[in-house]
Amino acid sequence: MEERYNPHVIEEKWQSIWEERGCFNTEEDPSKQKMYILEMFPYPSGRIHMGHVRNYSIGDVIARYMRMKGYNVLHPMGWDAFGLPAENAAIEHGVHPAKWTLENIEYMKKQLKRLGFSYDWRREISTCDISYYKWEQWLFIKMFERGLAYKKFSSVNWCERCQTVLANEQVEGGCCWRCGTQVVQRELEQWFFKITDYADELLEYCDKLQGWPERVLVMQRNWIGKSEGVEIEFPIEKGGSLRIFTTRPDTVFGITFMCIAPEHPLVLDLIKDSSNYKEVLEFINRVRRMSVSREAILEKEGIFTGAYCINPFNGERIPVFVANFVIMEYGTGAIMSVPAHDQRDFEFAKKYNLPIRVVIQPGESILDTETMDKAYEGEGIMVNSGPFSGIPSEEGKKRITEYVEKMGWGKRAYSYKLRDWGISRQRYWGCPIPIIYCERCGMVPVPEKDLPVVLPFDVEIRGEKGSPLSYHKKFVNVKCPNCGLEAKRETDTMDTFVDSSWYFERFCCPDHDGFLDSKRVKYWMPVDLYIGGIEHAVLHLLYARFFTKVLRDFGLVEINEPFINLLTQGMVIKDGAKMSKSKGNVVDPDDMIRKYGADTVRLFLLFAAPPEKDLDWSDKGIEGCYRFLNRVWRVVRDTMPLIKDTPPYKDKIKLEGSNRQLRKIVHKSLKKVTEDIESRYHFNTAISAIMELVNYISQWKPDVNDAVGRSVLREAIETLVIILSPFAPHICEEIWSELGGKRSLIYEKWPEYDPEILEEEDVLIVVQINGRVRDRVIVASGITRDELLKIVLEREKVRMYLRGKNVKNTIYIPDKILNIVTD
CB under 5 A: which stretch of 240-248, 395-403, 482-490, 790-798 binds Zn ion? 482-490
Amino acid, res. 688: S
Pairwise CA distance, residues 459 & 456, whole Å:
7
3-state secondary structure of 232: strand
Amino acid, res. 750: W
Among 21, 289, 440, 805, binds Zn ion (CB under 5 A): 440
- Among ligand ANZ, Zn ion, none, partner that 482 touches (CB below 5 to 8 angstroms by kind): Zn ion
- Among ligand ANZ, Zn ion, none, partner that 338 touches (CB below 5 to 8 angstroms by kind): ligand ANZ
CB under 6 A: which stretch of 88-96, 333-341, 495-503, 765-773 binds ligand ANZ? 333-341
Among 181, 185, 482, 630, binds Zn ion (CB under 5 A): 482
- Among ligand ANZ, Zn ion, none, partner that 341 touches (CB below 5 to 8 angstroms by kind): ligand ANZ
256 binds ligand ANZ (CB under 6 A): no
45 binds ligand ANZ (CB under 6 A): no
Among 14, 223, 304, 330, binds ligand ANZ (CB under 6 A): 330
Q: Are 424 and 190 in contact (CB under 8 A)?
A: yes
404 binds ligand ANZ (CB under 6 A): no
- Among ligand ANZ, Zn ion, none, partner that 659 touches (CB below 5 to 8 angstroms by kind): none
Q: Are 49 and 586 in contact (CB under 8 A)?
A: yes
Pairwise CA distance, residues 122 & 27, whole Å:
11
Helix 50-68 to helix 589-596 angle (10° resolution) is: 60
Q: Find the shortest distance in angstroms from Cβ 490 to Zn ion.
A: 14
Among 95, 328, 441, 640, binds Zn ion (CB under 5 A): 441
- Among Zn ion, ligand ANZ, none, partner that 246 touches (CB below 5 to 8 angstroms by kind): ligand ANZ
140 binds ligand ANZ (CB under 6 A): no
A 10 A CB-CB count for 55 gives 23
Q: Are 307 and 275 in contact (CB under 8 A)?
A: no
Total residues interacting with ligand ANZ, rule: CB under 6 A: 18
CB under 6 A: which stretch of 81-89, 136-144, 241-249, 794-802 binds ligand ANZ? 241-249
Nearer to ligand ANZ, 327 or 571 (CB): 327
Q: Is the dihedral of CA 49, 524, 611, 605 positive or negative?
A: negative
338 binds ligand ANZ (CB under 6 A): yes
Nearer to ligand ANZ, 305 or 725 (CB): 305
Tell me the CA distances in angstroms from 681 to 36, 126, 217, 527, 745, one per residue in order. Answer: 16, 29, 20, 17, 22
Tell me the CA distances in angstroms from 146 to 30, 133, 194, 424, one per residue in order. Answer: 35, 20, 10, 18
Q: Is the dihedral of CA 101, 104, 106, 108 positive or negative?
A: negative
- Among Zn ion, ligand ANZ, none, partner that 438 touches (CB below 5 to 8 angstroms by kind): Zn ion
Q: Find the shortest distance in angstroms from Cβ 266 to ligand ANZ.
A: 13
| DSSP per residue, 414-426 | EEES---EE-EE-
The contacts of residue 523 (CB under 8 Å, 6+ apart) are 28, 30, 34, 508
- Among ligand ANZ, Zn ion, none, partner that 283 touches (CB below 5 to 8 angstroms by kind): none
- Residues within window 405-434 making contact with ligand ANZ, judged by CB under 6 A: 415
- Among Zn ion, ligand ANZ, none, partner that 536 touches (CB below 5 to 8 angstroms by kind): none
341 binds ligand ANZ (CB under 6 A): yes
CB under 6 A: which stretch of 34-42, 239-247, 433-441, 471-479 binds ligand ANZ? 239-247
246 binds ligand ANZ (CB under 6 A): yes
199 binds ligand ANZ (CB under 6 A): no
245 binds ligand ANZ (CB under 6 A): yes
Q: Find the shortest distance in angstroms from Cβ 188 to Zn ion.
A: 24
- Among ligand ANZ, Zn ion, none, partner that 397 touches (CB below 5 to 8 angstroms by kind): none
Q: Are 616 and 573 in contact (CB under 8 A)?
A: yes
479 binds Zn ion (CB under 5 A): no
3-state secondary structure of 121: helix
Pairwise CA distance, residues 185 & 296, whole Å:
12
247 binds ligand ANZ (CB under 6 A): yes
Backbone angles phi and psi of 319, in degrees to 5: -70, 145
402: alpha, beta or left? (left if phi > 0; alpha if psi -120 to 50): alpha
Nearer to Zn ion, 74 or 478 (CB): 478
Burial of 600 (C-beta count, 10 Å sphere; 0-12/13-18/19+)? buried
Backbone angles phi and psi of 740, in degrees to 5: 105, 5
- Among ligand ANZ, Zn ion, none, partner that 440 touches (CB below 5 to 8 angstroms by kind): Zn ion
302 binds ligand ANZ (CB under 6 A): no
Pairwise CA distance, residues 512 & 515, whole Å:
7
Among 42, 51, 302, 333, binds ligand ANZ (CB under 6 A): 333
The contacts of residue 52 (CB under 8 Å, 6+ apart) are 42, 589
The contacts of residue 627 (CB under 8 Å, 6+ apart) are none
* Beta strand segments in 356-409, E: 360-361, 381-382
710 binds ligand ANZ (CB under 6 A): no
A 10 A CB-CB count for 766 gives 14
Where do contacts with ligand ANZ occur on this chain (CB under 6 A)?
Answer: 227, 245-248, 251, 325-327, 330-331, 333, 335-336, 338, 341-342, 415
Where do contacts with Zn ion occur on this chain (CB under 5 A)?
Answer: 438, 440-441, 480, 482-483
